[in-house]
Structure 1
């Protein structure tokens, strides 16, 4: 294996994809969630997702003052705060608005990272994930009146698409860092 920074990115990317896919699968099979089920699921998801973003940004090894570093970590911090507040509050309206804001900000941070990283291997993944995060974050508050099941459905649909994207990205990163076989 090579010792480039990209060689160490596949692990946090894979972890993020697994967390995101797990959340998406839970939302598919959660038959009749109530407000408590919504808030518990949003809470753990945002907390673990924030941790995975932190791990990922640490592995990127960006300088502390770099704007990508600040944008990605700031969005991860908001996700962590949103996870705690939603977990404690057990309120559908707050879960929709705060969850939407957390997803929206992370999507914006990923779009910013993509647009400021012309040569990064992750540029296209950040673009797609950013658009999915923005879309999910914008849509979430419009489904408040439809209840917890609809909120989990919207966020779970976005999570399944994002999780599949990051799973492919992790496998690609893992494949690309392997040393070529000798002929």
Structure 2
């Protein structure tokens, strides 16, 4: 028998992994803005770091006790898609191959996050973030696939995913800071401040 956690207890558990994922997305997104002429190797490394650290941040989120058991399946699939994409992208020697691999990982991850949102948005408040992260992942993946097929260079492909990462990062930063603020406000109230 499990006990139902209060919204404040949930906020105190999820704000850190949400902020970590926001930081990963923002760092990647901002790095793509300042890169002028990345080559294929840098493209592979940048995408690999983004996918690995995003997947790791999502795994950290899933380890929280408050996350519903059934919600862990679709989100685990998202993290697994990103991690598998990281491995597979190193097998391609062209920007198009790398881009299509990353696009597939982003699309699978986006769909998985949308499934998590659809199933748990009413019963688990943090699941509402998955609507936006899922949509941005899906859109970034689709745009990257089109760009890769059309022969977009590494800078353009990184820019597509970087733009989506900045949007995701900002949305998750707002969410994570909101959950953190709830926890701090409650602590201040409990201490009579």
TM-score under structure 2 normalisation? 0.86
Unaligned runs of 5+ in 1: none
Task: Specify whether residues 135 and 62 from structure 1 end up closer, same or farther in structure 2 by C-alpha distance, changes over 3 A only.
Answer: same
Find 1:73's aligned residue among 72, 76, 81: 76
- The answer on whether the counterparts of 1:9 and 1:60 sit within 8 Å (CA) in structure 2 is no
Q: Which whole-Å deviations, capped at 9, do the CAs of 1:46-91 have from their partners, x for residues lacking one?
A: 1111111110111154465x2x211110120121111122245443
Find 1:162's aligned residue among 162, 168, 190: 168
Find 2:141's aligned residue among 137, 141, 144: 137
Equivalent residue, structure 1, for 2:14: 9
Q: Distance in 2 between matches of 1:107 and 1:177?
A: 29
- The answer on whether the counterparts of 1:10 and 1:173 sit within 8 Å (CA) in structure 2 is yes
Write the mapping of 1:37-116 to structure 2, written as runs, cut at 5 A.
37-59=42-64, 61-62=66-67, 64=69, 66=70, 68-87=71-90, 89-116=92-119
Unaligned runs of 5+ in 2: 1-6
Equivalent residue, structure 2, for 1:124: 128
Deviating beyond 6 angstroms after TM superposition, the runs of 4 or more aligned structure 1 residues are none
Task: Specify whether residues 92 and 84 from structure 1 end up closer, same or farther in structure 2 by C-alpha distance, changes over 3 A only.
Answer: same
Q: Which whole-Å deviations, capped at 9, do the CAs of 1:9-42 have from their partners, x for residues lacking one?
A: 1111111000100000110000011111111100
Equivalent residue, structure 1, for 2:36: 31
Q: Distance in 2 between matches of 1:128 and 1:63?
A: 19
Q: Distance in 1 between matches of 2:44 and 2:65?
A: 31
Q: Distance in 2 between matches of 1:14 and 1:35?
A: 30
The alpha carbon displacement at 1:125 in A equals 1.8
Find 2:26's aligned residue among 21, 34, 49: 21
Q: Distance in 2 between matches of 1:170 and 1:86?
A: 30
Q: Which has the larger radius of gyration?
A: 2
Equivalent residue, structure 1, for 2:4: none
Q: Distance in 2 between matches of 1:60 and 1:115?
A: 20
The alpha carbon displacement at 1:166 in A equals 0.5
